[in-house]
Structure 1
């Protein structure tokens, strides 16, 4: 085991900020997600795995909750009021059992893609137990335990302000380091963030695509930066629309610019997909005559951008040639590239592994795919996939009709968190290699589930206080 002092220094800095805001662990576990290539140690005994700093904060959070004086009473209350946690526990047990059993039960009966232990890269091999069964299952279980711990903290106390601060710190750190990375490369200084890249990943941080520097921020590659940028942009945009926050508006603008300059196909395709509901929302407001000034601003900016592009094209028809080449290589012809064909083959083999194992799966961490839903099917099988789908539904429905029983700030934060994890799932569906949905998914599950439980309690209180026959919604106005 080798400790990274740089990683520990970064952790200390985040803890100090969280302590100043009186929620060091909640803020820390969210904000630390901005450091996608910063590990606090390297475990040579487990294939050289290097846990990122968010795992340290998650472990501290789980430990702090587990050592509470009335922890068993708290857990009983949480599991009684938040039923999705029973499904989560079932999924964790199934994932642990499958990671140990399935690679041994179906050993040699199918082929999978795994990380090579002899050289860097992904290789095709017969199914067998690998170190990924331990490490990826560990991350998955830690995420589930973090969700349970957060539910304990969020159910009985109003900590939504800590969640909001944590998400804004996450977005601000991600955007700031992305901007620093771009400025350093344009200035000829190269990768100025290399001191914080302490993880044992392959760092693709100084690459050029069609004449453009690829932005990686604090991550190991542009694709990861693009995926996180989508999630951050979704959070800031929804919070801005809900609350008119100038901070959220400024971060949305900066994240959009960085995302467009990132040269990430994940970012471009994901942004296109996420723009569809935004466009329908603005169109609905326009047709119903309820267009607000923010929507008018968006339409005006799009019109100005379109007119500027047209004018520049008429003046110099070769001006946008590099941009056209970039879009052509990163989006339009991505599937025909060697990388695109290789990733498509990973998905084909993953689906074949699902069939070869009779729908049981090869076990968490046993294979590598290039799409999160396909990875879920191949690793967790039909049973695990149904549990993941159920939890995903719980997350994506958000507050639903219960939003009337929470204050506007809570509704804004929960809606923004929901949008962020939806964007994260979109990017994961494009490039995700593991069935683990990521720590952001588990955080969102806890925030939404706890908020719904608090809203149900409020609804019960309001309903009991009403005179006989009076509708509940009248008491809210």
Structure 2
């Protein structure tokens, strides 16, 4: 039944405009435990909805007379995705050859095991290559879609829809807790940690493999919706939804009881506070400053209300405080921390045993994205990814870019700073994820490959009337 539902939606979306496929991609990010094909029919390889949607989105993006030319220009230009393309080539080559070269001589932590084992070629390598490639496809597709004003507006709409979907799947997990109603959407072959309690509270996993993955998803989408969704005018119904949805997702991230999500929330409040200060200093118009004052007033009111409640009943927040104390400050004493630390140790030893060349994507499990990156792609892959990230964070909008372009570039960089935190302490694989890929693609799409080519659409300011035009054309 679940397969029929997905393929019906996917087939209908493919027949529509590209903006619908973009929206489906962001919604598919919430289905991280669902394989679109029975694993028995794929030899044990799990094909996720987001992987299929990423490939379909890139295919529809390239299906234009100049699509392939623009894609190639974006892939090789170091100002856009050139460094990321070089990283992908290195990662694929290492993954195909290193497991065979060092087979039986290097100890690794397999993705589907809980004990160290000897390095051997396995299907998890090809699975992780597919996931990594799908993330790259998202970055490439969004770098092309985000080259126009309509495309950037469609991206903002898709982020809000994806964030709303993440919130709804969390509610479904809560409402069906203790039942098997969501079992048809949990068909992935890798290890699923969907049952668990901490201090008597059930961990919310949505339709993801584990609570940390769901918490990271909500953190990423909620943060992107907060910083990038503000390009949607707030004076319409959709704009009001765009202002509320980020906080619903962030609330779900907190309820996931993931230590990575808690660190992400802390980082979000730090970045958001700095953003408020920067916006206040930059915006001289009274209308903009009044909007900022309303945000400050709302945030301050919430803090005052929480403080008054805590003063009246000092034990009302005790469960939450105990949860944070256990998951953050005493995390090092938990069995989960000890197990994950062992994963990192084994993976780093494997890196050293391969002469710092790496064991390949998907060969070893870790609990930190930097560790997974280094152990999987070696020193060369790590340097290429580091150079790309520095280029991404240092990117700036040109003088010919409009306010929407500048806000998306600014919001993409701020969002990634928050998205990076959960992955840095919990990601088991080299794949940088669809969310980070989307942010990379949005930033790359702001600047054209040829500096002399700036489309008229890029110069056009954002209109309140046409913010939903991309979806409205399809009958939304």
- Contact 1:394–1:445 (8 Å) recurs in 2: no
Q: CA deviation at 1:259?
A: 2.4
Equivalent residue runs for 1:56-455 within 5 Å: 56-65=52-61, 68-69=64-65, 72-79=68-75, 83-116=79-112, 121-155=113-147, 158-185=150-177, 190=179, 192-239=181-228, 244=234, 245-283=239-277, 292-398=289-395, 400-402=396-398, 404-453=399-448
* 1:404-425 deviation digits (Å, cap 9, x = unpaired): 4223233334443444444332
What SS does the aligned partner of 2:451 have?
helix
Q: TM-score, normalised by structure 2?
A: 0.83
What SS does the aligned partner of 2:391 have?
helix
Q: CA 1:210 to 1:160, structure 2 compared with 1: closer, same or farther past 3 Å?
A: same
CA distance in 1 between counterparts of 2:68 and 2:303 reads 59
CA distance in 1 between counterparts of 2:71 and 2:304 reads 58
Q: Once structures 1 and 2 are overlaid, which stretch shifts more, 264-273 or 451-460? A: 451-460
The match for 1:30 is 26
Q: Once structures 1 and 2 are overlaid, which stretch shifts more, 234-243 or 381-390? A: 234-243
What SS does the aligned partner of 1:112 have?
strand
Q: CA deviation at 1:139?
A: 2.0
Q: CA 1:255 to 1:107, structure 2 compared with 1: closer, same or farther past 3 Å?
A: same
Identify the structure with bigger relative contact order (alpha carbons < 8 Å, sequence gap 6+).
Answer: 2
Q: CA 1:298 to 1:263, structure 2 compared with 1: closer, same or farther past 3 Å?
A: farther
CA distance in 1 between counterparts of 2:75 and 2:406 reads 23
CA distance in 2 between counterparts of 1:82 and 1:158 reads 25
- Contact 2:264–2:419 (8 Å) recurs in 1: no
CA distance in 1 between counterparts of 2:191 and 2:413 reads 31
- Contact 1:265–1:330 (8 Å) recurs in 2: yes
- Contact 2:163–2:246 (8 Å) recurs in 1: no
The match for 1:469 is none
* 1:93-119 deviation digits (Å, cap 9, x = unpaired): 222211122122233443210034xxx
* 1:128-159 deviation digits (Å, cap 9, x = unpaired): 22222211112222332443344445547842
The match for 2:40 is 44
Q: CA deviation at 1:201?
A: 4.0
CA distance in 1 between counterparts of 2:241 and 2:67 reads 37
Q: CA 1:52 to 1:287, structure 2 compared with 1: closer, same or farther past 3 Å?
A: closer
* 1:48-95 deviation digits (Å, cap 9, x = unpaired): 222111111122234445565555544454457665433333222222
CA distance in 1 between counterparts of 2:67 and 2:342 reads 47
Q: Once structures 1 and 2 are overlaid, which stretch shifts more, 247-256 or 451-460? A: 451-460
Q: CA deviation at 1:292?
A: 3.3
What SS does the aligned partner of 2:117 have?
strand
Q: CA deviation at 1:247?
A: 2.1
Q: Once structures 1 and 2 are overlaid, which stretch shifts more, 24-33 or 14-23? A: 14-23
CA distance in 2 between counterparts of 1:80 and 1:431 reads 31
CA distance in 1 between counterparts of 2:246 and 2:387 reads 31
Q: Once structures 1 and 2 are overlaid, which stretch shifts more, 380-389 or 342-351? A: 342-351
Q: CA deviation at 1:241?
A: 5.0
- Contact 1:46–1:135 (8 Å) recurs in 2: no
What SS does the aligned partner of 1:450 have?
helix
What SS does the aligned partner of 1:34 have?
coil
CA distance in 1 between counterparts of 2:372 and 2:102 reads 17
CA distance in 2 between counterparts of 1:415 and 1:77 reads 23
What SS does the aligned partner of 2:29 have?
helix
* 1:19-39 deviation digits (Å, cap 9, x = unpaired): 666523333323321222222
Q: Once structures 1 and 2 are overlaid, which stretch shifts more, 125-134 or 419-428? A: 419-428
Q: CA RMSD in A?
A: 3.2
Q: Once structures 1 and 2 are overlaid, which stretch shifts more, 205-214 or 412-421? A: 412-421
What SS does the aligned partner of 1:457 have?
coil
- Contact 1:15–1:25 (8 Å) recurs in 2: no
The match for 2:467 is none
* 1:220-272 deviation digits (Å, cap 9, x = unpaired): 32211110111112112213555554222111222232222222211111111
CA distance in 1 between counterparts of 2:437 and 2:199 reads 37
Task: Point out where structure 1 has 5 or more consecutive residues left out of the alignment.
Answer: 462-477
Aligned residues: 448
What SS does the aligned partner of 1:23 have?
helix
Q: CA 1:183 to 1:132, structure 2 compared with 1: closer, same or farther past 3 Å?
A: closer
What SS does the aligned partner of 1:125 have?
strand
- Contact 1:239–1:248 (8 Å) recurs in 2: no
